[in-house]
Structure 1
Amino acid sequence: MLIEPGKLLAAVNNPDDLKKLDQTQLVQLCDELRTFIIDNVSVYGGHFGASLGVVELTVALHYVFNTPQDQLVWDVGHQAYGHKILTGRRDVFHTNRMYKGISGFPKIKESEYDAFGVGHSSTSISAALGMAVASKYKGSEDRQHIAVIGDGAMTGGLAFEAMNHAGVSNSNLLIILNDNCMSIDPNVGALKDYLTDITTSHTYNKMKDEVWNILGRISKFGPNAREIISKVENSIKSFLLSQSNMFESLNLRYFGPVDGHDVNHLVSVLDDLKDIKGPKILHCVTRKGKGYGPAETGNQTTWHAPGKFDKVTGEIRKKTYDSPQPPKYQDVFGHTLVELAEKNEKIIGITPAMPSGSSLNIMMKAMPDRAFDVGIAEQHAVTFSAGLATQGLIPFCNIYSSFMQRGYDQVIHDVCIQDLPVNFCLDRAGFAGADGPTHHGAYDIAYMRCIPNMIVSSPMNEAELRNLLYTSQLPRDGKAFTIRYPRGQGVMPQWKTPMEEIKVGTGRKIKGGEEVAILTLGHVGNYAVEACKNLETKGLNPAHYDMRFVKPLDEKLLHEVFTRYKKIITVEDGCLMGGFGSAVVEYMADNNYSAQIKRLGIPDEIVEHGEQIELQRECGFDPEGIEKAVIEMTEQILAKS
């Protein structure tokens, strides 16, 4: 079902068409754009609240600036749906986040209007500053460079590093702070409180408006007038606010706060800011989910990406089942951690801004003094955990696999070099699905197993996850402990099993067999079980081993495998380069074994977005892919005999 755009939106195929509209028509266009987003996401799913919150800002930016000549960088990209629709992708927007469809995030290869590909937070200012410096170097200083960043992403260290540099760069950079007090979950930390102080200071805002009005009237009297008024404005800011303006102290000219839902005022302000050279920041106050009642007044975390819903009633459509379904792995983690923490007072939970996504919110509700959301700050989350570990506490640092990449130096420098027993629970390991390559947890096996003083494990099901969590909180001498698990459901409706210790570095034989052995790591072991059942109907009987640990490997089990089988298939939902299969090949070489090994996993290429099973099928490690690999190996054996 294709969604029909409104009359004005139907005529806008690119920003040049947008500029043909009279400014008085922009309010109607914003209404049509918002309706188009609501209609599409309600039917096809996707991110929601963030894009509704910046409809007016998006229209104003493309109306005022000459994109793509002027370069616009969105931070994270959850909020860029309106941008995509206005820049030539309206008629294919229904394919958003679908397999082989357009990306849910800005992407350089998808459109010239996507100046920089994004997906992780806090990158926009650095990227836009690099572009601005390049333009200055190339003599194109009339080119505009705009970074749109949310107040949640602003807490990321990279954003502060970029602002610190921007303040001394004298480059033509405009930072737009989209302040809605939310990232995915509500924002935390001192910056949130600081921005609240600015936006709620009625005296400051009243006098700020008066100063801006005076500036507009006096500027015609000469170039010095603007400088004089600027000094007066800065003095007022410092006098009225409880502390000096943080952004001004970084040498960024601060403007705002302004109403981010007044499109005509935004056009006026942006038009003025075009003529002000150097680095500057515009503070826009918006509301996530603006224009759709349930998203505005309801649980904004839920409405960040609600899935399909009834746009009239606001009822989110959920699948119904005739029988109990397995839980999500993240929920098994959340409930099990509380269960363990009730018996072990040393356990502390940490997450960087993903309490609902990781289900640490379960512990935050049950034990608010023992679970911490540290904001979008993965580096800090890791080193904070290391500090806790030095004092004898047991930190469980829960981070998405792809986000852990942002704290990698801290894993090495602050945890493993010091041999501290920090537990890393990596959610979204393997393919993340529709979020695509910026969120795929493709690399954690390879990047974790190469570090000394690190244990790396992955459970095949919910019971194994509970056992690994139980094992990781038992006393041990040093060594970090990584437990990786995928997005989505497990396989056990009755998942709350008794917990028991797993000896570190031990796997298990799922079934014996003949000629071919399948070695799996993690949830994909269930695919091997399915493949083996199908192969039995074809008269084939491969063995199956669930290795559980990629570091340390179960060498006793591998000795059995290489002694009995000359055809071996490894299966993992991680990158083949340096991953689990590579570890098995290394073991074979180091111990003078000889076998034919077929490695199944994520190839050495960027895999795009789609449903998890679609991407696993594309890469050949879904149940059919495993079955095919066994048949091919068996045919080779038969051909030789």
Structure 2
Amino acid sequence: MPQDLLKTINGPHDLKALSVDQLPQLADELRECICDQISRTGGHFASNLCVVELTIALHYVFDFAQDRLLFDVGHQCYPHKLLTGRQKLFPELKTKGGMAGFPEPRESEFDLFSVGHAGTAIPTAVGMAIGDTAIGEGHRRCVSIIGDASIINGVSMEGMNYAGTLNRQFLTILNDNGMAIGDPQGAVAQYFDRIRVSHTFDDLKKRGKEILEMIPGGSYLEDFYHRSGEVIKAAISTGHVFEHFGHVCVGPLDGHDLPTLVDLFNEVKDIEKPILLHVKTVKGKGYVPAEGDPFRFHAPKAGVVVNGNGEKKVEEALSKGELEKSDCSVVKKPACGGKSFTAAFADGMKGLMAKDEKVYAITAAMPDGTGLDKVAEAYPDRTIDCGLAESLGMDMAAGMAKSGLKPFYAVYSTFSQRALDQTFQEVALQGLPVRVCMDRAGYVGGDGAMMHGFMDIAMNAVFPDVVMMAPSDESNFNAGLEFMRGYEKSATFIRYPRDVVAAEELQADVPKYELGKANLIKKAKGKKPDVAVLAYGVMVYTAAEAIRELEGQGYDVALYDARFAKPVDMGLVTELIEGGIPVVTVEDHGIVGGFGTMVLEGCNEAGLRTDKLKRIAHPEKWMYQDSRGGQLKDAGLDATGVASTIRKFLDKLSHDVNVDVKTKSSQQVAK
């Protein structure tokens, strides 16, 4: 029985004690560990299997207790975490108290930034390289790992541009697996396709020093060549696009060849020039179904990965005829809680596109996550994936709207932040009717703090004339999308959560959306309710459940689906407040700048009293990985928490009234 190497690794110091010959076994054990865990909890899968050898080789050669290692996006960090003392956290992956699914400095000194967005690794590495050099710690090496999809992101290119001016060690590893979350898009992706075919490591080994003769003005490389080791000499690439960014380009190399990677890292680690190492890897490496369908196995749910417990390898089972390849691809789907808002959006978009040929859909490398993969199947010519570049997507939408089309830009709320400047100048300032559909609004669960959509209202409400909406259920979603289709006066935004739509809706007949008008869901039993609740988006259903609890305690409550955060239904708000009715707003957004703030500001502008207005929203604190339900509960945004807050608010109002009455009575007696 071979030694279980992974269990002996409590940190990189233990890894360095192994021989190079033992590293392939460690790679196998890492893959088995990841397969086993993802089969239990779900998580990012194919991307982590892809970088196993690369991660081992990096930690074997570099010392990232002092050197700098930065991951782009960071969803490929599981092997890194398992090699840096966090194996005990792995069984509780993406749960409260367990391992975060992305780099997380709270967990370890080996994680430098909490990240989850694309394009950040190279520019932050440039900043650290400049900072370390400035304070006399230029001996700290900088390494950033970025994928072929993220490299086209604007800030990645900006980082590469500046990195080429650095006169010090700076290593960028381009992990080229030919995949984003979906198929890679654009001319750079096509370029990588060509270079994979036309250049292999074996070909480069044969050419050796002769390639220097092909470099116009490449004399500086000749000196570099003479001072380099044999692996670099064999792998220097000419004509690579990033050679023109001031980088010595090496590769493409086999990113799963551990001995070669170790040799190369030993040779490049102290070279005082910016180097781009281009490695070719296989997404899903070592798990046959994921290799064949990395798109499907990007982030499978629990139960999707089969044969993941390490008892027998999929490859061995296939070779022995014990397992058919078709069996490997069978997905054991976990019990489903219902139709997701994402699926409802996809169905709604197909309905719009069926009736209006001017409707187009755009996504930034997230066709599956936004539901547009299903839309593309029905309308491939009107569904556009612009690649991992959210700013580009917003500008494309602006151009399409200017040309008379009706673009719907599907983007996660947290990623829409990356297109703020384009939303400002190219969309809002121009008054263009771009339709922005923000998935994953509010708390998102296991992906944690950097993925929560907690600021989309605050961020976009500053723009004059824009319209902001949130649907409470699928019928309201369809009504909202239809409103957006027909609205041409300005940009429109609609936000919806990473959650399921209600199986039983609160209203049988949902009225059409009218600009800035709320919808009464539940009347008070008496002429004047004890409190009116204005809930925004899916929180209408949470509020309805909270109201059932309050009614059981004797309170009479009216419930409104606010529908719009901008413009707020100030006619309704004015009527309630002037009628002396307390108002509570409920939303799945940050307390600062959210729907409740829009109501508060509207009251201030109208000269209305706000002492009977209460806002319930995300508290001002970071919420880390947990289930979405757990996060809502911790924030006091589950039904019990909402009911408790409303009850305390009403009790305080009642107490204040009694105190005021007693004070006035005492004053009258004194007179």
Q: TM-score, normalised by structure 2?
A: 0.88
The corresponding residue for 1:149 is 146
The corresponding residue for 2:459 is 447
Contact 1:307-1:317 at 8 Å conserved across structures: no
The corresponding residue for 1:98 is 95
- Distance (Å, rounded) in 2 between the aligned partners of 1:22 and 1:418: 62
The corresponding residue for 1:604 is 620
Residue 453 of structure 1: CA displacement? Answer: 2.6
Contact 2:359-2:407 at 8 Å conserved across structures: yes
Tell me if 1:302 matches 2:296. Answer: yes
Summarize the Cα distance change of 1:153–1:493 in structure 2 as closer, same or farther, 3 Å threshold. Answer: farther
Contact 2:472-2:539 at 8 Å conserved across structures: yes
The corresponding residue for 1:208 is 204
Contact 2:167-2:274 at 8 Å conserved across structures: yes
Contact 1:151-1:178 at 8 Å conserved across structures: yes
SS of 2:167's equivalent in the other structure is coil
- Distance (Å, rounded) in 2 between the aligned partners of 1:206 and 1:142: 33
Tell me if 1:624 matches 2:640. Answer: yes
SS of 1:342's equivalent in the other structure is helix
**Structure 1 runs of 4+ off > 6 angstroms?**
232-236, 493-500
Residue 499 of structure 1: CA displacement? Answer: 8.6
Residue 544 of structure 1: CA displacement? Answer: 1.2
Summarize the Cα distance change of 1:283–1:236 in structure 2 as closer, same or farther, 3 Å threshold. Answer: closer
Summarize the Cα distance change of 1:177–1:598 in structure 2 as closer, same or farther, 3 Å threshold. Answer: same
Counterpart among 404, 409, 415 of residue 416 in structure 2? 404
Summarize the Cα distance change of 1:146–1:556 in structure 2 as closer, same or farther, 3 Å threshold. Answer: same
- Distance (Å, rounded) in 2 between the aligned partners of 1:493 and 1:22: 61
- Distance (Å, rounded) in 1 between the aligned partners of 2:372 and 2:508: 20
- Distance (Å, rounded) in 2 between the aligned partners of 1:110 and 1:235: 37
Residue 317 of structure 1: CA displacement? Answer: 3.7
The corresponding residue for 1:220 is none
The corresponding residue for 2:490 is 479
Map Cα deviations across residues 240-285 of structure 1 (whole Å, 9 max, x no partner).
xxxx321101111100111111111111111111132211111111
Contact 1:517-1:565 at 8 Å conserved across structures: no
Contact 2:12-2:59 at 8 Å conserved across structures: yes
Tell me if 1:489 matches 2:485. Answer: no
Residue 621 of structure 1: CA displacement? Answer: 1.3
The corresponding residue for 1:426 is 438
Residue 569 of structure 1: CA displacement? Answer: 1.5
Residue 102 of structure 1: CA displacement? Answer: 2.5
SS of 2:84's equivalent in the other structure is helix
Summarize the Cα distance change of 1:265–1:235 in structure 2 as closer, same or farther, 3 Å threshold. Answer: closer
- Distance (Å, rounded) in 2 between the aligned partners of 1:105 and 1:182: 19
Contact 1:173-1:279 at 8 Å conserved across structures: yes
Residue 214 of structure 1: CA displacement? Answer: 8.7
Tell me if 1:525 matches 2:520. Answer: no
- Please list, as runs of the form range in 1=range in 2, the aligned pairs for 1:109-128 lying within 5 A after superposition: 109-128=106-125
SS of 1:492's equivalent in the other structure is coil
The corresponding residue for 2:281 is 286
Summarize the Cα distance change of 1:462–1:290 in structure 2 as closer, same or farther, 3 Å threshold. Answer: same
The corresponding residue for 1:364 is 376
Counterpart among 567, 591, 599 of residue 576 in structure 1? 591
Contact 2:169-2:269 at 8 Å conserved across structures: no
Tell me if 1:512 matches 2:523. Answer: yes
SS of 1:628's equivalent in the other structure is helix
SS of 2:297's equivalent in the other structure is helix
The corresponding residue for 1:241 is none
Contact 1:600-1:621 at 8 Å conserved across structures: yes
Residue 593 of structure 1: CA displacement? Answer: 2.0
Given residue 467 of structure 1, which amino acid in structure 2 is its aligned partner? A
Given residue 574 of structure 1, which amino acid in structure 2 is its aligned partner? H
Contact 1:132-1:173 at 8 Å conserved across structures: yes
- Distance (Å, rounded) in 1 between the aligned partners of 2:223 and 2:206: 15
Counterpart among 75, 80, 83 of residue 80 in structure 2? 83
Given residue 457 of structure 1, which amino acid in structure 2 is its aligned partner? M
Map Cα deviations across residues 21-77 of structure 1 (whole Å, 9 max, x no partner).
111110111111111111112112211111111110010000000112111111111
Contact 1:307-1:316 at 8 Å conserved across structures: no
Residue 212 of structure 1: CA displacement? Answer: 4.5
Q: Structure 1 stretch 269-278 or stretch 346-355: which is displaced more?
A: 269-278
The corresponding residue for 1:589 is 604
Residue 600 of structure 1: CA displacement? Answer: 1.0
Residue 557 of structure 1: CA displacement? Answer: 1.3
Contact 1:378-1:403 at 8 Å conserved across structures: yes
Given residue 271 of structure 2, which amino acid in structure 1 is its aligned partner? I
- Distance (Å, rounded) in 1 between the aligned partners of 2:551 and 2:650: 13
Contact 2:209-2:234 at 8 Å conserved across structures: no
Counterpart among 191, 195, 201 of residue 194 in structure 1? 191
Tell me if 1:273 matches 2:268. Answer: yes
- Please list, as runs of the form range in 1=range in 2, the aligned pairs for 1:159-178 lying within 5 A after superposition: 159-178=156-175
Contact 2:236-2:250 at 8 Å conserved across structures: no
Percentage identity across paired residues of the two chains: 37
Q: Structure 1 stretch 74-83 or stretch 329-338: which is displaced more?
A: 329-338
- Distance (Å, rounded) in 1 between the aligned partners of 2:140 and 2:508: 61
Summarize the Cα distance change of 1:552–1:391 in structure 2 as closer, same or farther, 3 Å threshold. Answer: same
- Please list, as runs of the form range in 1=range in 2, the aligned pairs for 1:373-384 lying within 5 A after superposition: 373-384=385-396
Summarize the Cα distance change of 1:533–1:300 in structure 2 as closer, same or farther, 3 Å threshold. Answer: same
Given residue 574 of structure 2, which amino acid in structure 1 is its aligned partner? H
Residue 319 of structure 1: CA displacement? Answer: 3.4
Given residue 298 of structure 2, which amino acid in structure 1 is its aligned partner? H
- Distance (Å, rounded) in 2 between the aligned partners of 1:300 and 1:585: 48
- Distance (Å, rounded) in 1 between the aligned partners of 2:183 and 2:504: 31
Residue 97 of structure 1: CA displacement? Answer: 0.7
Contact 1:567-1:633 at 8 Å conserved across structures: no
Residue 387 of structure 1: CA displacement? Answer: 0.4
- Distance (Å, rounded) in 2 between the aligned partners of 1:519 and 1:354: 33
User: Tell me, which stretches of 5 or more residues in structure 1 are unaligned?
Assistant: 216-222, 239-243
Tell me if 1:260 matches 2:255. Answer: yes
Tell me if 1:544 matches 2:559. Answer: yes
Contact 1:437-1:606 at 8 Å conserved across structures: yes
- Distance (Å, rounded) in 2 between the aligned partners of 1:172 and 1:52: 28
Contact 1:326-1:494 at 8 Å conserved across structures: no
Map Cα deviations across residues 461-514 of structure 1 (whole Å, 9 max, x no partner).
1111100100111153x3100011111211036999999741111111112332
Given residue 301 of structure 1, which amino acid in structure 2 is its aligned partner? F
Residue 100 of structure 1: CA displacement? Answer: 2.7
Residue 286 of structure 1: CA displacement? Answer: 0.8
Counterpart among 348, 355, 365 of residue 343 in structure 1? 355
The corresponding residue for 1:218 is none
SS of 1:460's equivalent in the other structure is coil
Contact 2:254-2:280 at 8 Å conserved across structures: yes
Q: Structure 1 stretch 392-401 or stretch 335-344: which is displaced more?
A: 335-344
Given residue 603 of structure 1, which amino acid in structure 2 is its aligned partner? P
SS of 1:170's equivalent in the other structure is coil
Q: Tell me how large the CA RMSD over aligned residues is.
A: 2.5
Contact 2:207-2:234 at 8 Å conserved across structures: no
Contact 1:149-1:175 at 8 Å conserved across structures: yes
Residue 209 of structure 1: CA displacement? Answer: 1.4
Contact 1:516-1:633 at 8 Å conserved across structures: no
User: Tell me, which stretches of 5 or more residues in structure 2 are unaligned?
Assistant: 212-220, 308-326, 659-671
- Distance (Å, rounded) in 1 between the aligned partners of 2:204 and 2:499: 49
- Distance (Å, rounded) in 2 between the aligned partners of 1:57 and 1:581: 48
Counterpart among 20, 31, 35 of residue 32 in structure 2? 35
